[in-house]
Structures are given as structure tokens and as C-alpha cells.
Amino acid sequence: MKKPYQSIEVNPNNNMKQVIHRILNVNLLRLSLILLIFISYSLSAQETGDPIKGKALFNTNCAACHNLDRKMVGPALRNVETRLLEEEGLDREWLNAWIRNSSGMIKSGDAYAVKIYEEYSKAAMTAFPQLSDEDLDNILAYTAQEKAVPAAAAVTTTTTADEGDDFGISNKLILGALAVLFGLLAFAFYLVNRTLRRFALAKNIELPEQATRMPLWQAFVKNQFLVLVAAIFLLLASAYFVYGYFMQLGIDQGYEPVQPIHYSHKIHAGENAIDCKYCHSSARVSKHSGIPSLNICMNCHKSIYEVAPETATAEYSKEFYDGEIKKLYEAVGWNEDDQSYTGVTKPVKWVRIHNLPDFAYFNHAQHVTVAGVECQTCHGPVEEMEIMYQHSPLTMGWCIDCHRKTNVNVKDNEYYAKVHEELSKQYGVDQFTAAQMGGLECGKCHY
Amino acid sequence: MSSNKKYWKSVEELKPNSSIVETLQNKEFVEEIPTEEFLGNKEKLDASSTSRRDFLKYVGFSTAAATLAACEGPVIKSIPYVVQPDSIIPGVANYYATTIADGFDFASVLVKTREGRPIKVENNTLALVSNTANARVNASVLGLYDSLRVQGPMKNGEAISWDEFNADIAQKLESLKGGEKDIVLLTQTFASPSTSKLIEEFKEIYGNVRHVVYDAISESASLDAYEVKYGERGLANYDFSKASTIVSIGADFLTDWQGGGFDSGYSKGRVPQNGRMSRHIQFESNMTLTGANADKRVPLTPGQQKVALAKLYSYVVGGSVPGDLPKSLDDTVRNAASELKKAGNNGVLVTGIQDINAQTVVLQINEALGSKAFDPETTIKTRQGDTKDVIELVSDLNAGKVGAIIMSGVNPVYTLPNSADFEEGLKRTELTVSFAMKLDETSSISEYVAASPHNLESWGDVELKKGHFGLMQPTIRPIFNTRQFQEILLVWNENDISYNDYIKELWNSEILVGTSFNQALHDGVFNAENSESGEGNSSDSTEIPAGAAARTLASGNETGGIELTLYSKVGMGDGQQANNPWLQEFPDPITRTSWDNYLTISKADAYELGLVNEYVATGALNGSYANISVNGTALKVPVIIQPGQAKGTVGLAFGYGRSAGLKEEMKTGVNAYDLYQDFNPVQNVEISAGEGMHEFACVQLQNTLMGRGDIIRETTLEVFNTKDKEYWNPVPHVSLNHIETSVRSPEVDLWDEFDRSIGHHFNLSVDLNACTGCGACVIACHAENNVPVVGKEEVRRSRDMHWLRIDRYYSSEESFAGDNIKKDSAKGLFGETGIKDTLLEMESAAIENPQVAFQPLMCQHCNHAPCETVCPVAATSHSRQGQNHMAYNRCVGTRYCANNCPYKVRRFNWFLYSQNDEFDYFMNDDLGRMVINPDVTVRSRGVMEKCSFCIQKTQKTILDAKREGREIKDGEFQTACSAACGNGAMVFGDVNDKESKVAKLKEDKRMYHLLESVGTKPNVMYQAKVRNTKEA
């Protein structure tokens, strides 16, 4: 399922998008009222509207503040048109006018408009003059739909599981067949051997008796040279493993701690394709990538209070994910019922995964903004990680390897212009690695 | 035949009867090895239940356990903001312009904050006239994180709430309102328009209010003289850059005279340009920083100074004055007078004599000269105290005439000479309130302590000089439950407005005249375009006639005993920052001694009194104690023999001997305020030798250059202007195949030159003419680079960690040039002209009046660094940008590098200085560690460290430019020291940028490299010192 946030992206040419996004909480109200008006307009409108298009429009324009069944920044909108007509006697005209210019209506002193404005803490709804009558029809048609019973998700999951099983069985089959084949072969050899011996016996050919030999270990012990070589080999081998053990000390590759909130990069960065730097924005300008502050989470999670049924997997149920969102609300002090902040916060104590020692300087901005390195280059396939783990070893050798191989991104950067020109003149090449530009000097990272 | 050649390991051995030699002969180790302590007692050893076998088991087990435990990495938590303030990006520093105004130091500064924590004070380059940040201002950021700060309001030592505090005091004030007894506000000089207005309003409401302004170190006489002459209570402002001849009689104007801040103007005039530089003649008794920088320094007792000033008046303006000076001195004064007269309006005279007559005479002479350097328009406002009021207050307190005393920014129990009377008076006062950051001497005996915020947590405004304003803004949320004096005044005035709104209103209505307050706040400074000039030249009638003043001055100066001059040290000032370990460990620029104050005395007087200084076997300095007494007040003070101290005078610094509100380690020195009778810094004193020896922490034992003119190149202006560079600043030559070859020739090089022509190549230029030795750079370096404080004991063992030191050298002859000649003319080994005796003689500085030179010394970042070649693990290496890198995590602590460094600038971490109870300075508590710069590693035990050319700063500049895709302009590269130097003595930059200032300085004819003959090719260069010795 597409998340409302993502669907904003669907229509990139719409300039209103930005505005909507910024004043999210200001304007949603209005839309609800527009929708309310719709209901009163006519039944035929509902019939003519296309709920599927309506859903897309709703997600683009309204979902940031409205939900069908739940009061958010603005009121719940299911059957808004009908309700408005029945309860307030306001027709579709009113609703249209409200959607397109709610603040105007509030100013003009429309009683119900003012009431809604007061009720929703005086946050005026964004005006949507760009929505045509047809669009409004579609949206209202969507809001007039009956609540669907979730069923599809379970089916999907089962199918996936089946597929996985099929794959497993086919592998096993091949392996089993191979095993049987080897068994048959061995048996065949045995039979051949036995038959040949029988022939020999029959023809009175004497098989040479095997001389009783010195046991192998005695021979080994007697051979001083072999003992020496073996000892050296053993020592070397153990030294290799001991060295290997010590070298991995302090390297936490694959470190995957349990976090206080189960945050899934897979859902956010993968399925919803949210840009890494939307949350880790300081990676662009600072040495730290920054763990996003909770108000960033709330940019979206103010309206996303539950996951779609399709998001749930066999391992993590929808209830589990919804519970994790509740943890966020508790930490940030968000009261879902009032749609307001309580002011009581409990900062989240994340477990830090990527730990560089104090004596190593690393600057995210340099790699992200200047060099244009993808986050995934060091952090691995984050968009596939249900639980975040350390992908790279973060050792000095690993850093240096990359600095040796990677060419400096000098294009369109005034800073490099002069240096680059001089260097290419001197060495007659066009590209330089970070190492050649001095990226291996101790003091570049250790101070 | 056996040779009678005598080999000696140190000059000490050559001295007959040296106690050190004797001691060392008998012992292998300097210190006792305590074997007896743990092996001597056989019974105890037998009785122990731990057998050797057990011991080994324990050792084995604990080693294994520790090893296993070490394999597991710790879990590190990261806690992000709940709501991130939009101005804060983790990892990016923010700068706020503010003003430091603690009553003694006033400066417009920029404060660097990281993740909301102020970590460094820097100069505000927008400030036109105000003082650049000195060492104390640079160090003040550490005071913010002082673990001994008062954390909330208190009543009789018990914590109370602000509501209770306000209610209690409002009630008491109400009962005193309009009564017979006064309500007294005893405050520091705020120089704050808004505070003045608040106090006026307070006075209006309560009626019987008296406001007493109290400067711990008083400038009262100068203020009085200026007030009488110009009708305004303030201090005369001088711009020394406009003067070609500067005569100073007892004014230490490069440090704290008249609030300080004159050094940058002075330095501008000291750099020879177009063959000219200013000439500076100094008459003084103590050896001060100013005297050390003078072209001609004349040691004079304070009594003689007065006569000299009077004579000078008569020679310049005319008239005759009584009083006699020895003939030679009289001639010197006459010469100074003629030089002044010759200079005309380019001459200027200043004096530090705290006497209204002396100050009047000086104002008169400057007026007569029409001195351009003297600026009566921009009066200095940062000292306003009146000693008469303070004296009256103390007597009124004791007479029971005061009902309430409210103190802010002052510590009279510590700073008053008659503090016992004051204490007694406080007991007779119904209400005593002290606004203080610490439980200091005064606040600890006050009934109410109002916890005050640090300067960096406060709002405020300051009129530094007339028409030149500064704004103060908080750079951090108050760490503790504190309220500032002005906030509480607003409460008492029943004004609901917040203090910052109050300032804003006042500024918008009276100061800004239409310009934006936010802009002023952003800049931190505001210069009023046309300040109404001179509220009154009306007081001409009451003016003291200068001639009469001069005559009064010259008479009645018969002095019997030794004269004591009290002064403030560059590091400690008036002593309010005594709990600041950076300042305690800051070596005084003149004596190079830290963690103490001491009596400076001339060699002749010391000899007479039997006082000595001596070095002990570890190389540390010890000094005798002296008992001194002034009108019955006695003190036991350690003595330092000070070359250049005028005979018959002694000096002692304020600011030490604190007893409350500071850690045990910081309770150093003696309290000189006890001798500050009648607020007169000059006292007649009786001295006798005391018992015992005092242990000093002195960081420089070699006081002279021993004639090695190579280290500090200097010449006279005359030679500089007339002779070829080769004559006074030659490139050293070394022998190559018995041919003298320039050391800069590639043929004599042991190493292949690395091509550094592409990219950046950093160089630092240090101008010995512009450097006054003030030491702001030393503290700035501390703050920037997380340099640890090691404590007095460790400094005594020469284990100080300063990355940047300022060496001070005395000449052993009249001048350094004399030293060179003397050494070169030595013939043979022994005998009168032999090198042995010559060198022995040259060890001690010229006692009467040596020349002085300062030389800031940090890692020279040699292109052919001797340290790099001897490191067995390649922990120190060179970069193409000219910086010598030090990888701490690679260092194993062999210290070969330090031994092989010809400049002795490498520092070894003998201990873990952070989070170690043995070193209970700022790095040992969570609060103190807040000041640590997150971009610089905190070094651990066993590694070497040294100046890095602030690589974190140069890298930051480069990284920012890359990110923004632009070229780097000259001036963007800075080190902490070059940024802190307000005198322009340190210039840092990229020499590959041919247009840069530093590239031009590299071509300057004054440029030389330190010990260039060694062939290290340093990236630090010095500009030779030029002295203007020619008498005009």
C-alpha cells in the first residue's frame, strides 16, 4: 500500500505540494468540511465519482491531515457529505466552497465554518482552489465507500511462504538424488570388486598377501623430519587463527543490537523509498549523520498511526508494528485522542551501532555532499534491513582501501579547480584518487 | 702524563660548594627508592596470609579476567533530541556575539558553541575599539563549568526557592523603605546603560538607596582627575597606534592599566613600516610586560617616578618644580621630555601613578602636546568605582547606618584591605544579600546568596567606551537555578518585563536611533554615530592647576624604607577567576612562574636581606620566604629575584590567596589586598628574611640566551634602515666540503625535498615586534586543543603540557647585542676571558636593567623534522600541507621524538589527566568536561602530543570550502593562536597562495627561521625584533 506521504511525491509538478506539506497541521480541517459539503450535494455525485481516482487524490491532498475513520488534525471524513447534509443541513455547494477557500468562509462568518475552526484549535485548512468539481466528486466518492474488511494481506503472506517452501524442496530433491546416485555408484564398485575377486579365486590366481605394515602413527613418530614439519605447520596454523581472532577484536561487523523501538529501515527506506537524508539530514552539512530527533518522525507519524495490513509479515504482525508506533507517541508525548502534545517526553535511548573510536575523525558531509558517495556504499543495503546492523568492518584498512580506489569527485567544484589543473599538468592524468590527494596522511583523520 | 682536563655534566658542577653536586655524588637516584618500605619488615611479611603462590594465582586470574572482559565492546547509547532546535545541527558549531563584562575584564567576543555548549571565546572582529580578548577572557568560558558554582538561591546556607527569596527580601526592603537606615547597592562597575537605569528606578521606589560602585583594583585617582578636567567620570582613552613617541611613567598599559585593551594599537605602531616605528620609553619599578616591550626602560622607585613626572612637566610645559633626582636620571627625564616635545602631537605620555595630581599633570601635558593618541571623545567607561564611597560605606556599616546591603559582582571580604571591619559591619546589617556565582569569602557570610549566572548565561549591555556599546546575550540555557542581578532588580521594582525586553526597549528608545536591535545583537557591538560630545567642559573652574599639581607631586616624596608596588598579574587579574585551572597554570609572562604570586625583588636588595632563589636537583626553582609588613599588616611571601626590579622596590600581585569558593589546589599564593591600604598600590614596606623555602612552579630555568643571537634575532631601527639584510639577518652558513654554504642551498640538504607547491602549504609567522607576550594565545590554545592541566607538582617536574609557550629571555649585558659580542670575544677555555667564566657569567641576567624579549614557541612543523625520523612506529609523520602530524593512537611513548626535537616543543602525557582523581582539574568532572572541544582527541597516558597547527581548524576550513564548492580566501585559515592574537603578531595562512599575507611575510627581510642552521626547514617563521634605540 502506498503511504500518504509517498503519494505526495506522485505529483511532483504540483507546486501546492510544498505548501501542503509545510502547513500540514494548519489546513486539513478545511478539506474535511469540503467533503462534508459534498455529501449534501447529491447522491448522483457519489454515483458519478470514481472512488479509485478519489483515493489517489485523497492521499495526495487530504491524508496528511484527514483520515476516513479517525479524527486527526482535521475531522474524520467517512460519509462526510451525507453526514453534513443530515446533521447540519449543509449542501454540496457549502462543502465545495469550504474546500476551495475555508478561511474566506471563516472570515465571512459562516456559523458552521467558524464552529469547526474553533473546534480544531483555530488551525485553518489549506485552500484547494485547484481541485475541479470532478476531483471533488471523486474524493467524495472515495469517502462514501463502506469500510473494507481486511483480508488480502493474509493471502499474500501465505503465498510468499509457499514459494519459499517450493524452492527449498527443489534444492533438497537435487541433493537427495545426488546422494542416491553416489550410493549406487559405491555399491556398483563394491559389486565389481567382489565379482573380480570371485573370478580370481575361480581361476586360482593368488592374490598377493598384504604385508603387515608398521602402524602409520609409529612411522610418523619415527620420521623426525615429518614431525618437525607437522609441528611447524601446526604452530603456523594456530598462529594464523590466533592472529585472526585478535584482529577481529573490536570489529563489530554485523552488530545488530535490539533497539528500544523496532524501527524498520526496510519499511521506511525500502518500501516507502524515503530518502536517507530526509531523516539523517545533518549528513549533508555535518560530520555527524545525526540520529533523527523525534519531531522528524512526527512529521509523518502524526497522520500515520498504524501500518497498512500489507506491511505486516509473518515475523512481525500489524499489531506489533502499531505497538512500535505507540512507543514513538509515548516518547514524544503525543496524545492520540486529543491530537496534541502533552509535553511529557521520554527521549529514546537508541543503541549506537556504528562506533568509531574517539581518535578517528570521520565527516559525513565530505563523503555524502562533496564526494557524492551513496549511503549504501558503507552502510550496506539499509533499505532491506528490517533491523539495522553494521554492514562494514569500519577498520582503518577498509577506509584506506576505498581511498586508494576512489577517484575524487572534482567536477563542478571550484575548490578543486586550481589544484586539479596543476596536478593533471604535473602527472598528465585526469583523475586522482583520494589517496593521491593526501587522503592517506595520518593527520587527515587522526587529531 | 695524566690529563688535568675536567669534564663536567652541568654548569652546576662548576660552582664550588654546590649542594646539588654533593647530593648527586652520594646517590644514584635523585629520589629515595622505597624498597625498605615494603621489604624491610620481615615480621609483617611472614604474617601475611597471602603466599607468593596465591599472589601469582590472583595475578593470573585477574589478567585473564581483564583480557576476557576487554573483548566485549561497551554498549553505547545515543539519545537524540525530542524536538531539535532548528539552529542546532549536531557537529556544526554556532557562534554568538556577546560581551564579557565581569567588572575587571571587558571585551567584545564571539563565543563558539557546539551542541549548545559554549566551548571557546574568540575575538569579535566587528568590534572597532573595544578590547580584544586577553588570557583571562579566553579562559572565562571554563568558569561557566565550574563545579563549585552556587546552584540556587540560599538563605543562611540553606537552599530556598526564588519565590521565597523574593518574598523575604521584598518584605525586608519594604520595612526599610524611606527609613533612617540606608539600603546600599554595592556593585562592580557594570558600565551598563540598562543597569544604571534599573538602579535609578530602584532608587526612586525605595528612596533611601545608595549605590556604591567598587572596583577591586581602583583607578579612582585617574577617574577623579579626568572628571575634574572633562566633567565626566571615566578614563582617558589612548590610541597608541597614532603615537610615534610613547613615554610611560609607571603605567603598565599593555596589561590592565585603565582596564587594558591598549596593546593592539601599541603593536600596530611597533612594526617598522617605511623605516618608522614608535619609540617607547618606560619608567617603572616592577618589571612589567610594558617595560619588557619598551625600547628604553628606566627602573625607578615609585617616589622617584612622581618626581620624574613633575620634572617632565617642567621640561615640557615649563615652570619649576622642587625635588631632586640623581643626575643620570634627571638627564634621562630631560631626554624623554625633549623627545616628547620633538614628537609634538605624535607624542603621548601616560602614567599609572594613582594620584590625582599625577593624573592631572599627564592630562595637561598631553593637552599641551596636542597628542593625537589621546582621545577625550571616547572616554573609557569600564572603571567607575570611587574609593571614597567605599571607605565611607565601611564606616557607615560599622556605625549601624546601613539597613540592607545588596552586593553584586564584588567580593569585598576578599578584596578590601580592611575586610575585617567590613565583615564586622555586615554583622550589624539587617539584610545582607550577595549575588554571586560561588560561595566566596563574601557570599559565604551573607544571609542571602542569590545564585548568579555566568556572563555567558546572561543578558546585558555595556558601554565600553563612550558611544561604543556592546550587547551581552546568553549562549547557553542557565545550567543552574540562577537569576541575574538585573532580573531580580526588575522584580523588586515590580516591573513584569523580562530583562532582555527591558534592554531592547531601552536600546530602541535611547541608543539605537532607528537601527535594528537584532542587527546589534547579531553583531554584539554598536557604535553610536554621533554621541553627544562632552556633557560638560563646564567644570573648568574647579580644574586643578597643573603647575601646582606638579609641584605637590614632586614634594614630600622622602621615602625611608622599601617601596612595594602592588600589581595585577596577566594570568589572575583581580582574582575572581582564581578557581580557573587554566589561569593558575598559565605561566606569568615575566617570571614564567605559575600557581603562585610572590614578592619580586632586586638582586641587590635580596642579597642584603639574605634572600635567595635556587634550583634543586630536579631542576625546579625554590625561593626564600620574606616577612613583609605594611603598617602592621604582616604577610609571609615567597621571593623571586627579578632582574630589572628597581632597587629599593618590591612588587606583589593581587588575585591570589583566596580562601573560599575554590578547590584546595587553587588556594595558592598570598592575599595582597591586605596590603592595599587606602587603595594605594604603592606602600612602604618592611622586609625581613623568613624561615624556610618556597617551592615554585617555574617553567623556564634558562633566563638568558647565552649570546646565541640566532634564537632571537634583533637589531636596531637604525641598522634596519641603513644596513643590508645580510648584515643584521643573515642566512646561516654551514660547511660543505670545507666550503661555507648557505643552509638554504639544496646541496647541504640531507633529505630530498618534497614538492609542496600544489595544494595548501601552511605557514605561521610570528612577529617579535608586534608580540607583547600577553599570553592570550596560550589560553586560546588550551581551550581549542583540550590541553590538560597538570598541577603545580607536575609543572615543577617540567611536565607542563602547554603546546604553545612564550619564552622570555633577559640579556646578560645591557642589550642582547652586548651578549653576542661578549660571547664571541671569549678566548680560550679558562682564565678571565675564557669561555667557561664568560658563560658562567652570562647565565644570570643583567641585574640592573636587562633587555627583554618574548618568543612564542610552538611546534615548528619542520619540513625535515628530526622527530619523524626517530619514531620507531611512525606515529609522527609529515603532510604535504606542511603540518607535522601526530597520531596519538599509534604512539607507544618512547619519547625519542621529544629528545630529538631541537625546539623542545613536544609534550608527554606522563599520566592520564582526564577522569583521574589525582588531577582534579576541569577534566575530572562531568561539568568541566563540557568545555572539551569535540573535534580534538583527549589524549591518554603514555602518548606524546604537540601543537598540530590546529589541523582540526584547517581541515574544517578546507572541508567547508569543498562542500560549498569555492576557493579559499586568504584569512580563512586560522589557528587558535593566530585568531586569538589581537596584536597581529601571529599570521597564519597558505604560502602557496602567493597573494596571501603570510606568503608576503615569508619574503619579508625581517623573516628568519629558528635554528635554521640545523636544517630542519620549519614552517613557522619569525620576524626579527627591531628596537628603536636611537634617542631622538
Question: Whose CA is closest to B31, among B800, B792, B616?
Answer: B616
pLDDT tens string A29-61: 555 555 545 444 444 444 567 888 888 888 888
* Mean pLDDT, range B376-383, rounded to an integer: 88
CA distance B90 to chain A (A): 6
Question: B87, B957, B963, B973: best mutation site toward chain A, by most A Cβ within 10 Å?
Answer: B963
3-state secondary structure A232-263: HHHHHHHHHHHHHHHHCCCCCCCCCCCCCCCC
Measured distance CA(B424)–CA(B187) in Å, rounded: 19
Share of chain B above pLDDT 70, in %: 93
Residues of B in contact with A288 (CB under 8 A): 90-91
Q: Tell me, yes or no, whether A225 and A130 share the same domain.
A: no
What would the grid cell of residue A142 be? 472515495
What pLDDT does B57 receive?
A: 87
pLDDT band at A249 (very low <50, low <70, confident <90, very high): confident
* Mean pLDDT, range B1005-1023, rounded to an integer: 92
Question: How much is the mean pLDDT over chain B?
Answer: 88
Measured distance CA(B971)–CA(B981) in Å, rounded: 13
pLDDT tens string B293-332: 999 999 999 888 888 998 888 888 887 777 778 888 888 9
Phi, psi of B1028 (to 5 degrees): -95, 80
Facing residues of A335 across strands? A340
Q: Tell me, yes or no, whether A128 and A218 share the same domain.
A: no
Q: Tell me, yes or no, whether A29 and A130 share the same domain.
A: yes
Q: Judged by CB atoms within 8 Å, which residues 400-439 of B form the interface with A?
A: none
Residues 6+ apart with CB under 8 A from A266: A383, A384, A385, A386
What pLDDT does A230 receive?
A: 93
pLDDT band at A20 (very low <50, low <70, confident <90, very high): very low
Higher per-residue confidence, B512 vs B292? B292
The DSSP code sequence of B390-426 is HHHHHHHHHTT-EEEEEEES--HHHH-TTHHHHHHHH
Average the pLDDT over each of A102-116, A400-414, B875-889 and give the range with the smallest value.
A102-116
Helix axes A24-41, A92-100, angle to 10 degrees: 160
Question: Whose CA is closest to B637, among B560, B566, B559, B561?
Answer: B566
Nearest to B759 among A293, A366, A419 (CB): A419
Average the pLDDT over each of A78-82, A315-319, A374-378, B742-746 and give the range with the smallest value.
A78-82
Average the pLDDT over each of A14-18, B42-46, B354-358 and give the range with the smallest value.
A14-18
Residues of A in contact with B948 (CB under 8 A): 443, 447
Examine residue A87 and state whether it is found in any structural domain, yes or no.
yes
Is B80 within 8 Å of A352 when comparing Cβ atoms? no
What pLDDT does B322 receive?
A: 77
Examine residue A194 and state whether it is found in any structural domain, yes or no.
no
CB pairs under 8 A, 24+ apart, for B22-27?
B23/B617, B24/B617
Average the pLDDT over each of A49-53, A269-273, B10-14 and give the range with the smallest value.
B10-14
Q: Tell me, yes or no, whether A219 and A112 share the same domain.
A: no
Examine residue A233 and state whether it is found in any structural domain, yes or no.
yes
What would the grid cell of residue A159 be? 503465498
pLDDT tens string B251-292: 999 988 988 889 889 999 999 988 889 999 999 999 999 999
What pLDDT does B537 receive?
A: 47
Is B883 within 8 Å of A417 when comparing Cβ atoms? no
DSSP H or E stretch at residue B651 = strand B649-653
CA distance B962 to chain A (A): 6
Residues of B in contact with A286 (CB under 8 A): 89-92
Nearest to A426 among B758, B887, B967 (CB): B758
State the maximum Cα–Cα separation within chain B, in Å, rounded to a whole number.
101
What pLDDT does B24 receive?
A: 66
Looking up cell 466528486 gives A137
Max avg pLDDT among A19-28, B153-162, B549-558, B696-705? B153-162
CA distance B939 to chain A (A): 9
DSSP H or E stretch at residue B563 = strand B562-567
Helix axes B193-206, B485-492, angle to 10 degrees: 30
pLDDT band at B541 (very low <50, low <70, confident <90, very high): very low
Question: Whose CA is closest to B571, among B783, B773, B294?
Answer: B773
pLDDT tens string B674-704: 999 889 999 999 999 999 999 999 988 888 8
Average the pLDDT over each of A166-175, B75-84, B139-148, B275-284 and give the range with the smallest value.
A166-175
3-state secondary structure B468-518: EEEEECCCCCCCCCCCCHHHHHHHHCCCCCCHHHHHHHHHHHHHCCCCCHH
Instruction: State whether residue B695 is helix, strand or coil.
Output: strand
pLDDT band at B130 (very low <50, low <70, confident <90, very high): low
Share of chain A above pLDDT 70, in %: 84
pLDDT at B975 over 90: yes
* Mean pLDDT, range B798-825, rounded to an integer: 85
Q: Judged by CB atoms within 8 Å, which residues 753-812 of B form the interface with A?
A: 757-759
Nearest to B887 among A252, A351, A446 (CB): A446
Instruction: State whether residue B9 is helix, strand or coil.
Output: coil
* Mean pLDDT, range A310-336, rounded to an integer: 90
Examine residue A357 and state whether it is found in any structural domain, yes or no.
no
Facing residues of B395 across strands? none
CA distance B888 to chain A (A): 7
Question: For residue B633, is it left (φ>0), alpha (ψ between -120 and 50) or beta?
Answer: beta
User: CA-nearest residue of chain B to A287?
Assistant: B91
Measured distance CA(B822)–CA(B818) in Å, rounded: 6
Is A442 within 8 Å of B935 when comparing Cβ atoms? no
What pLDDT does A22 receive?
A: 45
Measured distance CA(B751)–CA(B746) in Å, rounded: 9
Looking up cell 448522483 gives A44
pLDDT at B748 over 70: yes
User: CA-nearest residue of chain A to B786?
Assistant: A447
Q: Tell me, yes or no, whether A118 and A222 share the same domain.
A: no
Residues of B in contact with A417 (CB under 8 A): 967
Measured distance CA(A306)–CA(B937) in Å, rounded: 44
User: CA-nearest residue of chain B to A289?
Assistant: B90
Share of chain B above pLDDT 90, in %: 50
DSSP H or E stretch at residue B308 = helix B302-316
Class of domain B714-1027: alpha beta
Measured distance CA(B418)–CA(B392) in Å, rounded: 12
Q: What angle do CA B791, B792, B793 make, to 5 degrees?
A: 100
Looking up cell 661555507 gives B740
Examine residue A355 and state whether it is found in any structural domain, yes or no.
no
The CATH code for residues B559-698 is 2.40.40.20
Examine residue A174 and state whether it is found in any structural domain, yes or no.
no
CA distance B121 to chain A (A): 21
What would the grid cell of residue B403 be? 539597613
Class of domain B154-218+385-527: alpha beta
What pLDDT does B152 receive?
A: 93
Single pTM value for the model:
0.83
DSSP H or E stretch at residue B113 = strand B106-114
pLDDT at A153 over 50: no
What pLDDT does B207 receive?
A: 85
Q: What angle do CA B575, B578, B584 make, to 5 degrees?
A: 115
Average the pLDDT over each of A270-279, A422-431, B191-200 and give the range with the smallest value.
A422-431
Nearest to B948 among A288, A333, A447 (CB): A447
Residues of B in contact with A333 (CB under 8 A): 82
Residues of B in contact with A250 (CB under 8 A): 73
User: CA-nearest residue of chain B to A361?
Assistant: B935
Contact status, residue B90 vs residue A365, Cβ threshold 8 Å: no
Does any CB of chain A come closer than 8 Å to the CB of residue B87?
Answer: no
Measured distance CA(A414)–CA(B965) in Å, rounded: 5
pLDDT band at A290 (very low <50, low <70, confident <90, very high): confident
What pLDDT does A167 receive?
A: 53
Is B80 within 8 Å of A292 when comparing Cβ atoms? yes
Measured distance CA(B285)–CA(B241) in Å, rounded: 25
Handedness of CA A93, A96, A99, A101 (dihedral sign): negative
Measured distance CA(B951)–CA(B369) in Å, rounded: 49
What pLDDT does B824 receive?
A: 78
Nearest to A447 among B952, B959, B961 (CB): B952
Question: B912, B962, B970, B1019: best mutation site toward chain A, by most A Cβ within 10 Å?
Answer: B962
| Chain-centre distance for alpha carbon B723 | 37
What pLDDT does B2 receive?
A: 52
Is A351 within 8 Å of B881 when comparing Cβ atoms? no
Is A370 within 8 Å of B81 when comparing Cβ atoms? no
**Domain span at residue A237?**
213-249
pLDDT at B536 over 50: no
Distances (CA, A) of B21 to B7, B13, B148, B616: 14, 6, 45, 10
Residues 6+ apart with CB under 8 A from A202: none
CA distance B475 to chain A (A): 21
Among candidate residues A113, A143, A173, the one where a domain is terminated = A143
Among candidate residues A205, A231, A249, the one where a domain is terminated = A249
Measured distance CA(B142)–CA(B939) in Å, rounded: 19
What pLDDT does A192 receive?
A: 94
Which superfamily, per CATH, for B235-380? Dimethylsulfoxide Reductase, domain 2 (3.40.228.10)
Distances (CA, A) of B526 to B122, B190, B372, B511, B530: 18, 17, 24, 9, 12
What pLDDT does A169 receive?
A: 65
What would the grid cell of residue B955 be? 581541515
Residues of B in contact with A252 (CB under 8 A): 73
Among candidate residues A221, A249, A277, the one where a domain is terminated = A249
Examine residue A17 and state whether it is found in any structural domain, yes or no.
yes
Nearest to A359 among B80, B90, B937 (CB): B937
- The total number of structural domains that make up chain A: 3
* Mean pLDDT, range A243-266, rounded to an integer: 88
pLDDT band at A240 (very low <50, low <70, confident <90, very high): very high
User: CA-nearest residue of chain B to A359?
Assistant: B937
User: CA-nearest residue of chain A to B68?
Assistant: A249
**B273: which DSSP letter?**
B
Q: Tell me, yes or no, whether A10 and A100 share the same domain.
A: yes
Helix axes B356-369, B302-316, angle to 10 degrees: 30
pLDDT at B845 over 80: no
Measured distance CA(B762)–CA(B998) in Å, rounded: 9
User: CA-nearest residue of chain B to A330?
Assistant: B82
What pLDDT does B186 receive?
A: 93
Give per-residue burial for B699-733: e unless 16+ CB within 10 Å, then b.
bbeebbbbbebbbbbbbbbebbeeeeeeebbeebe
Measured distance CA(A116)–CA(B247) in Å, rounded: 81
Does any CB of chain A come closer than 8 Å to the CB of residue B887?
Answer: yes
Cβ atoms within 10 Å, residue B99: 26
Higher per-residue confidence, A103 vs B521? B521
Instruction: State whether residue A271 is helix, strand or coil.
Output: helix
Is B879 within 8 Å of A359 when comparing Cβ atoms? no
Is A285 within 8 Å of B877 when comparing Cβ atoms? no
Is B77 within 8 Å of A352 when comparing Cβ atoms? yes
Is B759 within 8 Å of A369 when comparing Cβ atoms? no
Examine residue A196 and state whether it is found in any structural domain, yes or no.
no
pLDDT band at A389 (very low <50, low <70, confident <90, very high): very high
pLDDT at B70 over 80: no
